[in-house]
Amino acid sequence: MKSNQTIIRKSHMEQLHFITKLLDIKDPNIQIIDIISKDTHKEIIAKMYYDAPLCPDCGSQMKKYDFQKPSKIPYLETTGMPTRILLKKRRFKCYQCSKMMVSETPIVKKNHQIPRIINQKIAQKLIEKTSMTGIAHQLSISTSTVIRKLNDFRFKHDFSRLPEIMSWDEYTFTKGKMSFIAQDFEKLNIITVLEGRTQAIKRYWKLIQQDSRKLSDKRFYRPTFRMHLTNKEILDKLLSNSEDLKHHYHLHQLLLFHFQNKEPEKFFGLFENNIKKVHSLFQTVFKTFLKDKGKIVNVLQLSYSNAKLEATNNLIKLIKRNAFGFRNFENFKKRIFVALNIKKERTKFVLSRA
């Protein structure tokens, strides 16, 4: 009969074998020796048992030499605790040419420390709206490791064929700097993200450019006029100085009214009736509007809007907020493509009731 000690040893080896399968370590040369639970993390002690290969230099049979200092390989959490594998790799020596060689394992790339399964998890987390530091903290790795994995993503932009409907917008990349984004209206895929705008857009909200129906009726003291005036009263004073300005202002307000009410016939009727009556600078603008009449009519009649792209920009702001900003634009651009263009598969299981 087998002794109790032999049975216990066999049971212990079976447990370590099942742990190897649970951790998805498929390299048959790796054997788990023990698992040590510490206050902050778990350590899996393992060795690589490898047959001596032929020498790559002289072709002679190499021999087992010793074990290398344990490699500290970070791994996925087990029972909610950060885990790392302390893997001792076998070294081999050729006694003909003194060539030294270290055994390799498929769980880690050559000359790398981060295992493939961690890189896969990083890629999965990058698709989610999680900050770079958050990913690093969850996987017990450095932020630079996450950035290196982000840089592995490559996106090819094919501008030879563009979608039928596109959404364009701008967003703040860094303080005082605006960036441009284009999105497929139907599929919601990001087409491109540009670091800067070609032309800076300056907005001067002057009374003469505002909708007359939205002018404030509150009276304030105006130092320029040395009296209390409403915005409408200020506008009346401005227009009283020039009949030409007054005529163009009322024409602008009529155009704005018909545009907001989506009345293309009345809108373009004003252009056609007044093109010879306005200033020469406005005539150029009127001709441009009439030349692009079909496109503008589509804007007035079709229900398309930038609402979907605005929602996408909110997600981009969420990525920025979670990450506390990005210093490198290329990393930020890749993170947008990873998070929004790569669709996350549903992985949650639904347990049926007994």
> In the block, which residue shows the tokens 């100085």?
241
Q: Pairing relation of β-strands 227-229 and 220-222?
A: antiparallel
- Find, among 14, 11, 100, 117, the residue nearest to 62 by Cα: 100
What are the residue ranges in the chain where pLDDT is below 50?
A: 1, 199-205, 352-354
Q: Which two tokens stand for residue 303?
A: 């229900």
Burial class (CB in 10 A: 0-12, 13-18, 19+), 203: exposed
3-state secondary structure at position 121? helix
At residue 203, the pLDDT reads 34
Looking at residue 211, its amino acid is: D
For position 64, what pLDDT does the model report? 80
3-state secondary structure of 157: coil
Rounded to 10 deg, the angle between the 243-260 and 264-274 helix axes is 160
pLDDT for residue 66: 77
Q: Under a CB-based contact definition with an 8 Å cutoff, are residues 173 and 195 in contact?
A: yes
Smallest CA-to-CA distance from 75 within 47, 100, 98, 107 is with: 107
Quote the pLDDT of residue 71.
82
CA–CA gap between residue 293 and residue 286 (Å, rounded): 10
Indicate the domain borders of the chain. Answer: 4-113
- C-alpha 164/C-alpha 272 separation (Å) is 30
> What pLDDT score does 16 carry?
63
Taking the C-alpha atoms of residue 348 and residue 354, their distance in angstroms, rounded to an integer, is 19
Amino acid at 164: E
Name the 3-class secondary structure at 141. coil
Counting other chains too, the contacts that 305-309 makes at CB distance below 8 Å and 24 or more residues apart are 306/167, 306/168, 306/169, 308/167, 308/183, 308/185, 308/188, 309/167, 309/168, 309/169, 309/181, 309/183, 309/185
Residue 299: C-alpha distances to residues 150, 159, 252, 259, 294 (Å)? 39, 24, 19, 10, 9
pLDDT for the residue 17: 64
In order, the DSSP letters of 4-65 are: HHHHHHHHHHHHHHHHHHHTT---TTEEEEEEEE-SS-EEEEEEE-----B-TTT-PBPEEE
- Tokens of residue 221, six digits: 């003291």
pLDDT at 201: 35
**Tell me: the pLDDT tens digits for 226-239?**
889 888 888 888 78
Rounded-to-integer distance, Cα 217 and Cα 223, Å: 18
What is the rounded distance in angstroms from the CA atom of residue 334 to the CA atom of residue 155?
8
User: What angle in degrees, to the nearest 10, is found between the helix axes of 132-139 and 143-151?
Assistant: 110
Strands 71-78, 63-67: pairing kind: unpaired
